[in-house]
Structure 1
Amino acid sequence: MSMLIKICGLSTEETLEAALQAGADMIGFNFVAKSPRYISLETARRLGAKVRGRARKAALLVDADDAAIGATIDALGADILQLHGKETPERVRAVASRFGLPVMKAVGVATRDDVRAIAGYRGMADHILIDAKPPKDAAYPGGHGKVFDWTILEALDPGLSFMLSGGLSPANVAEAIKRVRPWAVDVSSGVESVPGVKDVAKIRAFIAAARDAAKV
């Protein structure tokens, strides 16, 4: 299976087009109001239409109720739901059943105990995204551009395929792929010039570096 590359937190037509042209497999759109990458449903409708089947569209949501999830799906035309909050395994399963879309559960990790907790989502989520655990005082979830200790992933069941996130960038994604061997990689702040503002050159460099590393 080839490496899947996800570029998350896109909010403009220019950066979306750059990611698509560079070969991103999945585009993440952020619907967390406190995030600098937040987009409205109106923007989601406009950007989602421009993907035109060229990549999969992921809707990033945090502890959203069914009404908010439904409205987001309708606006974006989402292909996959990325649940990035404190959703329980039972809630993940309920969302998948209610909306009939694949669900990817994001889990923040900092210790081996955090990694072991991922097992509770097996069979509930279609995919697992492993991210850095946010600081305790963080206003919103996510890795906040921090790289966690990849060696703690040795506690994972070796049969689990997962998407790796957390502080990835054009400079370290090749090393991450070679050391961790994830099914997919995800980047947001690592391809930005300032928080919430994507850099076209960094997007291209990240995708190129990930593709090259995945060939080895």
Structure 2
Amino acid sequence: MTRAKICGITRPEDALLAERLGAWAVGFILVPGTKRYRPPEHARRISEQLGPFICRVGVFQDSPPEAVLAHMAQAKLQVVQFHGFEPPAWAEEVRRHYPLIKAFKLSGPADAAMLEQALTYPCDALMLDGVNPGSGQGYPLAWLEPFLGHPRLIVAGGLNPENLPSVLALQPYAVDVSSGVEESPGVKDGQKVRSFLDVVSRSAQL
């Protein structure tokens, strides 16, 4: 069964809708200067409104472990997502406290060096994203093929309700969406969220 994460949450109503419609996780962008950034205390206010069976993910980019751990505690989140060029030693430190998702950006087919780096990185799940995360820009599905043997592969980058079925046919561990279900950066479109999660749910029943 493929799980779904709704990322770029900035409003409590969007988080609660995602939870009600069956999302497995919601993501909070803790990268200052980005369109969907909100400070940790804002994420905490939303997190505290959610029930116990939906995962709260904090997304970081090139923040050292001490900052990540402080912000995770402040925001009351449960899983860390690295989305930059964090060295493996940072991952190992964070994983002493939280499960970790590591994202790699695909700008073309993976060469041997990139493939080895991604498949040996110390993490609990591997995410593949587009070269400009949050932009809605995707990539050819053929670029995913070398990674499909990973037991916890998360596919992100340009997903929306229309192109989701072809990704689900690959049976990844999870899919991740942000701009593909938005009205504007950080503001989710309820009908698009519903349609996205309906597609995920239907695929699980096949």
TM-score normalised to structure 1 length: 0.88
Q: Deviations over 1:1-30 (max 9, x none)?
A: x22110001111111111010011011011
The answer on 1:40 being equivalent to 2:36 is no
- C-alpha change, 1:115 and 1:204, in structure 2 (3 Å) is farther
Residue 195 to residue 74, structure 1, CA distance change in 2 (3 Å) = same
1:143 is displaced (CA, Å) by 4.9
In the other structure, the counterpart of 2:68 is 69
Where in structure 1 are there 5+ consecutive unaligned residues?
A: 135-141
1:45-194 aligned at under 5 Å gives the runs 45-97=44-96, 100-113=97-110, 117-121=114-118, 122=120, 124-134=122-132, 142-156=133-147, 158-178=149-169, 180-194=170-184
1:115 touches 1:155 (CA, 8 Å); kept in 2?
Answer: no
1:30 paired with 2:29, answer: yes
SS at match of 1:105: strand
Alignment gaps of 5+ in structure 2: none
Q: Which moved more, 1:111-120 or 1:42-51?
A: 111-120
| Cα distance change of structure 1 residues 120 and 106 upon mapping to structure 2, 3 Å threshold | same
Secondary structure (helix, strand or coil) at the match of 1:112 reads coil
Matched with 1:14 is: 13
C-alpha distance in 2, partners of 1:204/1:115?
38
**Given residue 166 of structure 2, which amino acid in structure 1 is its aligned partner?**
E
User: Does the aligned pair in 2 maintain the 1:108–1:143 contact within 8 Å?
Assistant: no
What is the CA–CA distance in structure 1 between the aligned matches of 2:21 and 2:179, rounded to whole Å?
18
Structure 2 residue 199 is matched with structure 1 residue 209: yes
2:192 is the counterpart of 1:195? no
Aligned-pair identity (%): 29
